[in-house]
A and B are shown apart, each in its own frame.
Chain A
Amino acid sequence: GNSVTQMEGPVTLSEEAFLTINCTYTATGYPSLFWYVQYPGEGLQLLLKATKADDKGSNKGFEATYRKETTSFHLEKGSVQVSDSAVYFCALSQEGAQKLVFGQGTRLTINP
């Protein structure tokens, strides 16, 4: 079946550091891929998405590229801020279904 695996957290970085959160997936066909972010005390918000191979999603300085050859969708940001502290979820959706399959989430803490 479909599955999403994220790097284990928690991840702690200093402000202005480079961020990578790894995400790999298992799916048949051509899923769409998403990154969601959950700030403390809130629900999930869509951060970015990519719907086909080699697409790059970007938002708020975050980027992720849909790599079909490595079945990956790693999240990157060049210079993190304290306000980026949150839990990040990678997810996929499959053709013909409206269900999302989520990874387990990665808690990110940015220290000033």
Chain B
Amino acid sequence: DVKVTQSSRYLVKRTGEKVFLECVQDMDHENMFWYRQDPGLGLRLIYFSYDVKMKEKGDIPEGYSVSREKKERFSLILESASTNQTSMYLCASSPTRVLKTQPQHFGDGTRLSIL
């Protein structure tokens, strides 16, 4: 089975801090994704990556950046954390770019609180 591992389940940070959320997948997937999940809004895509050192903006990239230096690892960076970034963050991966029929595999999420 595919395993997507997020480094922290719960994280508490202060306003203005630089925050790193890490995600690792073990199935050599090409695609990796970062979402945030908020009540009533479902999942919203922040950034995604099709390949090492590649990144694409999703629907809500403002205030975030990402890094993909190795194929298995995709990091989400909050450059200067703000209280409106308090949320559940979910990482996902999928095998290849080409096929629309492939599902995404999700980690368990990181619940981030910004005080």
A38 and B103 alpha carbons, distance in the complex (Å): 15
Asked if A43 contacts B107 (CB within 8 A), the reply is yes
Interface residues in A40-72 (C-beta closer than 8 Å to B): 41-46, 49, 51
Question: Which A residues touch B42, using CB under 8 A?
Answer: 89, 102-105
Least distance between A87 CB and chain B CB atoms (Å) = 9
Choose from B50, B100, B108 the contact partner of A41 (Cβ within 8 Å). Answer: B108
Q: Are B45 and A99 in contact (CB under 8 A)?
A: yes
Contact B101 A99, beta carbon cutoff 8 Å: no
Give how many A residues have a beta carbon under 8 Å from the other chain's beta carbons.
25
Contact between A97 and B100 (Cβ–Cβ < 8 Å)? yes
A36 to B41, CA, bound (A): 15
Residues 18-34 of A contacting B (Cβ, < 8 Å): 31-32, 34
Q: Are A94 and B100 in contact (CB under 8 A)?
A: yes
Among B45, B102, B106, the residue within 8 A (CB) of A44 is: B106
Q: Find out whether the CB atom of A95 lies under 8 angstroms from the CB atom of B103.
A: no
Q: Which residues of A contact B104 (CB under 8 A)?
A: 44, 46, 100
B61 at interface (Cβ–Cβ under 8 A)? no
How far, in Å, is A49 (CB) from chain B's closest CB?
6
Q: Do the beta carbons of B100 and A32 come within 8 Å of each other?
A: yes
* Chain B contacts for A96, CB-based, 8 A: 100
Contacts of A102 in B (CB 8 A): 42-43
Q: Which A residues are in CB contact (< 8 Å) with B50? A: 98
Residues in A with CB closer than 8 Å to B41 are 104
List 19 A-B pairs, Cβ < 8 Å. Answer: A31-B100, A43-B90, A43-B106, A43-B107, A43-B109, A44-B92, A44-B104, A89-B42, A93-B100, A97-B100, A98-B31, A98-B94, A98-B97, A98-B102, A99-B48, A100-B45, A103-B42, A104-B41, A104-B42
